[in-house]
Structure 1
Amino acid sequence: MSPVARPSFAIGGVKIRPGQTREMGLPITKLVTGAEVSLPLRVLHGRHDGPVVWVNAAIHGDEVVGVEVIRRVLASLSPRTFRGTLIAVPIVNVHGFMAGDRYLPDRRDLNRSFPGSARGSLAGRIANLMMREVVDKSEVGIDLHTGSDRRTNLPQIRADLDDPRTRALAEAFGAPVMLHARLRDGSLRAAARERGATVLLFESGEAMRFDQWAIEAGVSGVMRVLAALDMVETPGAPTPPPSLVSRRSGWLRAGRSGIVHLDATLGQRVEVGDRLGGLSDSFGKTLRLVRADRPGLVIGRTTAPLVNRGDALVHIAEIEGAEPPGVPDHPDAAEAFDALDEIPVL
């Protein structure tokens, strides 16, 4: 007796048969020209049973790293061998992405608008559509982000590390650092958790840049999570070292306005009082040194040369347990990651 075939997957008013991939657009609104704006999706409905997982990017319209991560992940998958269903949403904030803007046209932050409303603002309608058609059909989600404007981030997972399943998937992702992050009202992660989904938030790289090291870390991590869920075969690439764990982090802020010269690099281990750079005036006179206010690992930094008093300069994560293995100073991010062991490219 032949095994019972998987049922078709229903989404957006269509049904996708097992072993097929389908691209579609879920209508959002129309532009003043009358052109329709749609939420782009690609659904990969595997022949074999397995979980339903979504992966999304560009909730903030200027965060392009995740779009390329999704493209590369999809290029490596086949519905004929895939176990389960993957819903890929490469661009959630379509309006912002087209304009190269973090926010929507009304300046709302889409990631503070979930779960949204079918009759609310533009942000609320997009959030509601994402929840109804994607999140509510899934059990696991991976939300891809980068640093905000003129900030860059070390590859890192932010998640509820006190939840056993979430922590297991965060460990499987294999980012250099994973942070225990509280849920923020209005975020996709918070709204999805309330609906019962397990969600990882990945941060890596800088807005409006295709940082290759950030993309490679994202592709490898997503594939490792799919393997941990038994949706794909375990990658043959070397297993990364265990992620460092942080439950507390903070931004070191400028003590005064000036031109900042940062020596701190992503992945650098620092101690209290370590010199991370300096602030000068336009003639080069040193106004103030920038020193670490806590021990830990540099997981983010500004890329802006001009800063005002109070601006965020360096993000330091305090590492749980033993001191991190020696991470020496390096002139660029790529070498800093090498010190944590090279992230394999799949």
Structure 2
Amino acid sequence: MSNTKIDILHILGEEVLPGESKEVNFDVANLHTSTPVNVPVIIERSNKSGPIVLFTAGIHGDEVNGVEIVRQLIAKGINKPKIGTIICMPVINVFGFINLKREFPDGRDLNRVFPGNSNGSLAGRVAHKLTHEIIPHADLIIDFHTGGSGRFNAPQLRYSKGNTKLNDLAKVFGAPFVLYSKNVSKSFRTTCFKLNKPLLLFEGGKSFHIDDIVTNSGVNGSKRILKHLGMLNTGFKSSKPKNDCVFITESKWIRAKYSGMFKAVVPCGTHVEKEDILGHIMDPYGKFNYFVRARNSGFVINVNESPIVYQGDALFHISLELKK
């Protein structure tokens, strides 16, 4: 993944020289008030040749925890590489981030319109620009996401099964879990796959929330990857993960059998045994208390933290087959 030589980086109409730090603007459209919207792209280059790593977050505007991870990489100076180049885009969907909404103002999910269209919707235009002016420069992409709709994800990496290069990188990253997940049509991940750009998708926490454990997992994993590539500056240490990464080949959701008030009693990331009590569904009048039990042994990798659930709502995501 190394470049044979280092030269001028031409990106978004700007030139970034070796050894230079530069912030360029990923601009697509103004707000409806004609106010310009700046989407900063922070670029740090070493004088020494090496890979180009792209850190992205905020494809969904309500996924604040991912934004926090990339913010910390920048604020702590982890993005200043020993060799090569690091590009950071903390908030891709700044339109949604302003209002803490998942979608763009046009109602579209950016992660379902790739590779986009230069003459299409607002989301489509952003996807097109990202596909043609940012992705081609990267040798490796790490994209940070969180759980949605009140569901809390244990820190995990997601990518399609059978990719030995990503398996090796995932072990280096050291998230607690890897969930093999098929590429979704018109997603950022699928577009990168088609362009032969390796991408690790990190999921952790939930929307509208910053969690220290999840944030630390993302930051520490990023440092391990940079160290593996010879890019981590000597001023930073990279700790080994406490446990080996668990590779999950199959998983299943437990859904609510009844509507009511809901309370989970097992932390996300816990290993449970079949028939263990995972939570309770209750009525508001103290007359009904249903015990939600595990249908199989495995790791709980997602927990619904909503206090109110309806029949059929997803409550717990539990691994079925484990591979280390």
2:36 counterpart letter in structure 1 = E
Residues 147 and 205 in structure 1, CA contact (< 8 A), matched pair in contact too: yes
When structure 1 is superposed on structure 2, of 20-29 and 73-82 the one drifting more is 73-82
Q: Please, which moves more after superposition, 142-151 or 71-80?
A: 71-80
Q: Give, in whole Å, the separation in 2 of the partners of 1:52 and 1:177.
A: 25
2:192 maps to 192
* Map of 1:236 onto structure 2: 237
**Stretch deviating more after TM superposition (229-238 or 44-53):** 229-238
- Cα distance in structure 1, aligned partners of 2:222 and 2:320: 25
Match of 2:265 among 263, 266, 269: 263
Structure 1 length as normaliser, TM-score?
A: 0.88
1:89 equivalent in structure 2:
89
Q: Deviations over 1:19-57 (max 9, x none)?
A: 111112121112221112233210111211111111100
C-alpha separation between the residues in 1 aligned to 2:93 and 2:316?
28
The equivalent residue for 1:169 is 169
Per the TM alignment, residue 238 of structure 1 is displaced from its structure 2 partner at its CA by 3.4
* Match of residue 129 from structure 1: 129
- 1:304 pairs, out of 279, 303, 306, with 306
Does structure 1 residue 24 correspond to structure 2 residue 18?
no
Counterparts in 2 of 1:81 and 1:126: CA distance versus 1, 3 Å? closer
Give SS of 2:152's match. strand
Query: 1:161 deviation in Å?
Result: 4.2
Q: Which residue of 1 aligns with 2:276?
A: 274
- Answer yes or no: is the 8 Å Cα contact 1:273–1:293 preserved in 2: yes
Percent identity over the alignment is: 36
Q: Which residue of 2 aligns with 1:292?
A: 294
* Distance in 2 (alpha carbons) for counterparts of 1:80 and 1:251: 41
How far apart are residue 170 of structure 1 and its match?
A: 0.9
Contact 1:244–1:319 (CA<8 Å) still a contact in 2?
no
Cα 1:24/1:81, change in 2 over 3 Å? closer
Question: What is the match of residue 250 of structure 1?
Answer: 252
**Unaligned ranges ≥5, structure 1:** 323-346
Q: 2:317 is matched with which residue: 298, 315, 318?
A: 315
**Matched positions, count:** 319
Look up the match of 2:15. 15
Q: Whole-Å Cα distance in 1 between the matches of residues 103 and 112 of structure 2?
A: 11
Structure 2 counterpart of 1:183, which letter? N
3-state SS, counterpart of residue 267 of structure 1? coil
Q: 1:88 to 1:80 in 2, by over 3 A?
A: closer
Unaligned runs of 5+ in 2: none
Q: Point out the more displaced range, 26-35 or 10-19.
A: 26-35
In structure 2, relative to structure 1, the CA distance for the partners of 1:267 and 1:81 (3 Å cut) is closer
Q: CA deviation at 1:236?
A: 3.4
Distance between the aligned counterparts of 2:114 and 2:250, measured in 1?
A: 25
Would the alpha carbon gap of residues 167 and 25 (structure 1) be closer, same or farther in structure 2, given more than 3 Å must change? same
Deviation at 1:74, TM superposition (A): 2.0
Name the CA shift for 1:279/1:116 in 2 (closer, same or farther; >3 Å): same
Q: Could you state the TM-score of these two structures normalised by the residue count of structure 2?
A: 0.93
Cα distance change on mapping 1:57 and 1:134 into 2, 3 Å: same
